[in-house]
């Protein structure tokens, strides 16, 4: 079993550059400082699983030349993780069937509220996204991958984390419950929220992420969900070699 995780987006909820802010030319000149909203594509030996649907989902998929999706996982229903879900429509049209979407029951209700038309009837020939909403089990098998899901705390709400082989992805987290920690042993690569430099009530911030990354002890940790506090190259100069910043388009072997 093998595959690739593609970081489709590595930015915080605003994206980087953030609207309305003027940035130094040197900052903008580095493509790694251009961050779309957080999402990862798991490319398995037999198919692709999309984790979250950022507002830029269509642009991310075109950029990475991704032509197929077998299933979608939604970690939580904050706008930056679901607002691209309308574009699932293209794949429903391609396969002429609903796309399996795994998340918690409470987030399924949110999705029905945000995209009511996806669950309504229309005359033949009108195409809307069709989502086959499913409760996320502990193990999800798609694309020839076995994906272990778990839940972490994101402020007051849960956020889904996942592990495939020795790769784990934890976006939007303020606390990892003690019973999840054993699932993160023996990792080659961990992708972990590190939203900004100063503390945040709903996210790990830089210092906290460094501490947790050290505790988990993956061979390599990439920080994600990054705001414009991070100038990619300048920040990496200050980091230990086993900690790097994720960037849009980063590919990680599974």
Binding footprint of Zn ion on the chain (CB under 5 A): 78, 172
Nearest position to Zn ion, beta carbon: 78
CB of 172 to Zn ion, least distance (A): 4
- CB nearer to Zn ion: give 87 or 172: 172
CB of 92 to Zn ion, least distance (A): 26
Nearest to 222 by CA among 184, 182, 250: 250
- CB nearer to Zn ion: give 65 or 156: 156
Strands 99-103 and 131-135, bridge-based pairing: parallel
Rounded Cα gap, residues 92 and 69, in angstroms: 10
Rounded Cα gap, residues 118 and 112, in angstroms: 8
CB of 14 to Zn ion, least distance (A): 12
CB of 252 to Zn ion, least distance (A): 22
CB of 126 to Zn ion, least distance (A): 32
- CB nearer to Zn ion: give 52 or 228: 52
CB of 78 to Zn ion, least distance (A): 3
CB of 20 to Zn ion, least distance (A): 21
- CB nearer to Zn ion: give 86 or 172: 172
Give the CA distances from residue 101 to residues 9, 98, 116, 216, in Å, rounded to whole numbers and listed in that order.
Answer: 19, 9, 15, 29
- CB nearer to Zn ion: give 172 or 228: 172
159 within 8 A of 168, measured Cβ to Cβ: no
Give the CA distances from residue 250 to residues 82, 131, 211, in Å, rounded to whole numbers and listed in that order.
Answer: 21, 28, 23
- CB nearer to Zn ion: give 149 or 165: 149
| Number of neighbouring beta carbons within 10 Å of residue 127 | 12
Cα 228 off chain centre by: 18
Q: Which ranges of the chain does DSSP label H, i.e. alpha helix?
A: 25-29, 57-63, 79-82, 89-95, 105-114, 206-216, 232-238
Question: Rg (Cα) of the chain, in Å, rounded?
Answer: 18
In total, the chain counts a number of residues equal to 254
- CB nearer to Zn ion: give 12 or 43: 12
162 within 8 A of 141, measured Cβ to Cβ: no
């Amino acid at each position: 079993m093998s595959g690739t995780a593609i970081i489709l987006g590595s930015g915080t909820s605003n994206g980087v550059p953030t609207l309305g802010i003027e940035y130094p030319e040197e900052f903008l000149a580095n493509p790694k400082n251009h961050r779309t909203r957080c999402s990862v594509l798991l490319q398995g030996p037999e198919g692709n699983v999309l984790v979250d649907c950022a507002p830029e989902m269509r642009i991310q998929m075109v950029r990475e030349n991704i032509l197929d999706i077998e299933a979608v996982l939604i970690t939580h229903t904050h706008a930056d993780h679901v607002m691209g879900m309308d574009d699932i429509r293209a794949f429903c049209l391609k396969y002429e069937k609903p796309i399996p979407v795994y998340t918690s029951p409470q987030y399924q209700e949110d999705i029905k509220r945000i995209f009511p038309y996806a669950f309504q009837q229309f005359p033949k020939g009108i195409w809307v996204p069709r989502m086959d909403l499913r409760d996320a089990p502990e193990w999800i098998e798609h694309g020839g991958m076995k994906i272990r899901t778990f839940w972490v705390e994101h402020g007051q709400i849960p956020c889904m984390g996942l592990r495939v082989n020795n790769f784990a992805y934890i976006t939007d987290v303020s606390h990892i419950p003690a019973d999840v920690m054993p699932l993160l042993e023996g990792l080659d690569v961990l992708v972990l929220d590190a939203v900004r430099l100063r503390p945040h009530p709903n996210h790990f911030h830089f210092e906290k992420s460094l501490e947790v990354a050290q505790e988990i002890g993956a061979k390599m940790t990439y920080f994600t969900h990054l705001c414009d506090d991070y100038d990619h190259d300048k920040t990496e100069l200050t980091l230990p070699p086993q900690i790097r910043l994720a960037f849009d388009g980063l590919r990680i072997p599974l």
